[in-house]
Amino acid sequence: MMKMQLLFTVVVLALVVILAGCTNNKQITTDSQRKSSELNKSLSPSEAKKRLDTEKDIILLDVRTAEEYKEKHIPNSTLISLDALEAEASKKLPDKTATIFVYCRSGRRSASAYELLRKMGYSNVYDIGGIINWPYETES
């Protein structure tokens, strides 16, 4: 009888440990996925265009050079080159909760700018890639 009680206790404890482990792993995965999605905000050109057309106060940030900007840019965009972004962001982008769409020529600099802005505490930043993939209006 005592062996049966001991066996029962061991089985119950094993089940508790296994179930607790499964629950914790699920939470870790959920937290990891949530953090990953927060850190990888990107929008396709069509998603970005739709939001730009329907939402007010989105800052459209071009992180290319002044020469590239003069040649062609998305209307109503603000230029802060990637090289100057860290120094100028606090002056030109004072609201760290503002919605900011970042773009460049091909998407490489916008990804770097996105990461830099996130590290600087900007919480609502989206990488919309390169102007070479922007099928909508541009201006010179």
For residues 23-34, average pLDDT? 44
Through-space distance between the first and last CA atoms of the chain, rounded to whole angstroms: 89
Residue 37 confidence (pLDDT): 41
Q: DSSP code of 53?
A: H
Residues 6+ apart with CB under 8 A from 6: none
pLDDT above 60: residue 35 = no
pLDDT number for residue 71: 97
* Residues 8-37, mean pLDDT to the nearest whole number: 53
**pLDDT digit string, tens, across residues 99-125:** 999 999 999 999 999 999 999 999 999
Taking only the tens place, the pLDDT of each residue in 51-90 is: 999 999 999 999 999 999 999 999 999 999 999 999 999 9
**Cα–Cα distance measured from residue 13 to residue 7, given in angstroms and rounded to the nearest whole number:** 10
Buried b (16+ CB within 10 A) or exposed e, 19-47: eeeeeeeeeeeeeeeeeeeeeebbbebee
Residue 41 DSSP class? -
Residue 8 confidence class, pLDDT cut points 50, 70, 90: low
| pLDDT for the residue numbered 12 | 63
User: Which residue blocks in 55-133 are alpha helix, DSSP H?
Assistant: 66-71, 82-92, 108-119
Phi, psi of 4 (to 5 degrees): -65, -40
d(CA 75, CA 121) in angstroms, rounded, equals 26
pLDDT band at 5 (very low <50, low <70, confident <90, very high): confident
- How many Å apart are CA 83 and CA 54, to the nearest integer? 31
Mean pLDDT, rounded, of the chain: 85
The yes-or-no verdict on residue 34 having pLDDT over 60 is no
